[in-house]
Structure 1
Amino acid sequence: MSTIRDGGLFLLLSFLWGTSFMAIKLGVEFMPPVLFAAVRYDIAGILMLGYVAATTGEWRPRSRADWLTVLVGATLIIALYNAFLFIGQQGVTSGVGAILIGMNPILATGFSRVLLPQEQFGGIETVGLLFGFLGVGLVAFPESTSSLAADLIAPAFVLSAAGCVAFGSVAIQRIDSDIGTEGMVAWSTAVGALLLHVMSAGRPAESVADVTVTPVAIVSVVYLAVFASAVGYVIYFELLDRLGAIEINLVSYSVPVFATLSGWLVLDESLDTAAIAGFVVIFVGFLLLKQGLIRDRLSAGRETNPTDRS
């Protein structure tokens, strides 16, 4: 029963995070992108702080290291990640955006090899990293080269978003903090929302006067804040505890499926052959990067669940 439940939660998380790309595309039509992200995390921050306060013990930052962890998370994982993502989503389809964000586990592995001395980088892992970037090239490279630089701007913003969250997650591992993961994410969300408001106010292209309040805009904000963020992270933390980091990282490769389907159904978007091929190449890169951990996990599974051969 627990396997069925975990599988159901995994699919639900993939659905919530996948359809969030479509919701972003809808919302940026009615409000400036960074301000849109800020409002999303205003609501999500309040909900998540209330949740961790009610369910966990070590949720309040108490030391300088705790606050440094929150600041890194707020800046890189929430503010910069979402600012780049929401800006970039204006110029790419939901599916392409999700595929590029799927580079996060690969980029995080690369950053960890540089920032975490205990991590080792072998030949197979190097090939995996190269596969990841090859996949990005297939996804992001435009069919027409007549305006190559302009066509690559939006994918570059989305890939920068993936780089920010990957670098932030690795940087947090270097900080000796006692705050729990749920508390760190909740506080980072709240502080990140404030940073997003500052960034929005500093962008000449954004103004509150540009906000158009429509039912679609309201639904987009509520869906992203309540379901994709608050509910999504509750599911994520439960699965992380039950499945482990390797299995939960696979959500990065199921999310594009739901992003593409929802973009096709709601926004009449399509995904070209090169993007699909790039997605496959990125996933192969992930498997190569994690091949040692995957092999160890499979070996441990066989030892704990031996097959009856009698």
Structure 2
Amino acid sequence: MTKAGDVLLFGALALVWGTAFTAIEIGLETLPPLLFAAARLDIAAVIFIGAVLLGRLRWRPRTKADLALILSNGILVIGAHFAFSFIGQRYVTSGVAAIVLSFTPIITPIIAIRVLSTERIYATDVIGLCTGLAGVIAIAVASGSFDGQLLGMGLLLASAVVFALGSVLTERWSAGLPTTALHAWSMVTGAVFLHATAYAYSGATLRTVTWTASAAAALTYLGIFATAGGFLLYFTLLNRLGATNVSLINYASPVVATVFGAALLGEQITTATVAGFALIVVGFVLCNIRPLWRLTHSIWNTDERDRLLERDEVRIQGNVYKTETDSRNSLQPGD
């Protein structure tokens, strides 16, 4: 992350995704959780559909891969993820919810090992997973309550797992649709899933709830800024910085959520919660130690990154490789 503009975009994403937990906490005071999540996606879906229409993008799914991606994103990455997280946040503070969900990048490579044959397991993955789980347990123990708090954290862990599973499954397919159109479909699918689940769960519909000014404001903020705007920022950063850089948002947004939760909602920040979050961060580093090492090397080794390439060298994603002219035509890392 070397450009000031990228840092500003990253900060903006951390802000909108971190404060989203505060907005959810406010909305949950009066709105049913599943219906609240569905209405959030309703707003985001309208915005994405508008972007598709204004951009005259191709929107009709034409392949089985398109349909698979829409269902995986809509039902797992968005629908079930929001269902578990919104219900779970009813039992914990916004800061704790954000911290528990930061467990997602730790469980993702473990699921990838089971689902994708190209992935391998390393000792650091196992140690990282155990360290991250220890952080979650530390936060649960620190809460001092093993009824609602434990249920809430269990639901939030389920949210992290289904999000990770859906994300891994998407690696199996290549979309033919433009990204904006794909996510428009995913938002619509997720909204339909959540509306149906909300009705089956409690009979809740948009007509049966009592709207307050604070709930309406929270919903508007979530739909426009945290969801539509947040995904726009996320995919912009993903294209500019790569997945390893952007994954660090999982550890910036909980800090924002904790600070705003304390400032606006009076939530307490305990030493045990901070220690638990630190263990989760350590777990993430262990599970991603190889890509993080490459990232750190590319950031600090500016001379290597910026120097002119020799004729027999090529730069791929910030790494310099030396070509050889033997029969294998292989690429070797340069010094």
**TM-score, normalised with respect to structure 1:** 0.92
SS in 2 for 1:62: coil
CA distance in 2, matches of 1:285, 1:52: 39
Give the equivalent residue in structure 1 for 2:236. Answer: 238
Give structure 1 stretches of 5+ with no counterpart.
none
Once the two structures are TM-superposed, the CA of residue 297 in structure 1 deviates from its matched residue by 2.8
CA distance in 2, matches of 1:254, 1:127: 23
Is 1:305 matched up with 2:306? yes
SS in 2 for 1:203: helix
Does structure 2 conserve the Cα–Cα contact (< 8 Å) formed by 1:10 and 1:239? yes
CA distance in 1, matches of 2:119, 2:130: 18
The structure number with the bigger radius of gyration is 2
Once the two structures are TM-superposed, the CA of residue 305 in structure 1 deviates from its matched residue by 3.2
Q: Which moved more, 1:44-53 or 1:122-131?
A: 44-53
Is 1:49 matched up with 2:56? no
Q: Which has the higher contact order (CA 8 A, sep 6+)?
A: 1
CA distance in 2, matches of 1:84, 1:205: 18
Is 1:151 matched up with 2:152? no
Give the equivalent residue in structure 2 for 1:68. Answer: 68
Gap change, CA 1:235 and 1:56, over 3 Å in 2: farther
Q: Which amino acid aligns with 1:157?
A: L
Alignment of structure 1 residues 27-176 onto 2, 5 Å: 27-55=27-55, 57=57, 60-144=60-144, 148-176=146-174
Alignment of structure 1 residues 261-300 onto 2, 5 Å: 261-300=259-298
Alignment of structure 1 residues 176-255 onto 2, 5 Å: 176-204=174-202, 206=204, 208=206, 211-255=209-253
SS in 2 for 1:141: helix
Q: Which amino acid aligns with 1:163?
A: V
CA distance in 2, matches of 1:194, 1:50: 18
CA distance in 2, matches of 1:186, 1:208: 21
Q: Which moved more, 1:53-62 or 1:161-170?
A: 53-62
CA distance in 1, matches of 2:142, 2:125: 28
Work out the number of aligned pairs and report it: 305
Does structure 2 conserve the Cα–Cα contact (< 8 Å) formed by 1:21 and 1:94? yes
Once the two structures are TM-superposed, the CA of residue 120 in structure 1 deviates from its matched residue by 1.2
SS in 2 for 1:61: coil
Give structure 2 stretches of 5+ with no counterpart.
308-335
Q: Which moved more, 1:50-59 or 1:18-27?
A: 50-59
Q: Which amino acid aligns with 1:73?
A: N
Is 1:5 matched up with 2:5? yes
Q: Which amino acid aligns with 2:305?
A: T
Which of the pair is proportionally richer in helix? Answer: 1
CA distance in 2, matches of 1:143, 1:75: 31
Identity %: 37
Once the two structures are TM-superposed, the CA of residue 65 in structure 1 deviates from its matched residue by 1.6
After superposition, the C-alpha distances for 1:245-299 in whole angstroms (9 at most, x for unaligned) are 0110000001011101111121111121111111111111111111111222333
Once the two structures are TM-superposed, the CA of residue 148 in structure 1 deviates from its matched residue by 2.3
CA distance in 2, matches of 1:242, 1:72: 25
Does structure 2 conserve the Cα–Cα contact (< 8 Å) formed by 1:138 and 1:275? yes
CA distance in 1, matches of 2:179, 2:283: 27
CA distance in 1, matches of 2:138, 2:56: 43
Gap change, CA 1:272 and 1:58, over 3 Å in 2: farther
Once the two structures are TM-superposed, the CA of residue 175 in structure 1 deviates from its matched residue by 2.6
Q: Which moved more, 1:18-27 or 1:50-59?
A: 50-59
Does structure 1 conserve the Cα–Cα contact (< 8 Å) formed by 2:111 and 2:165? yes
**TM-score, normalised with respect to structure 2:** 0.85
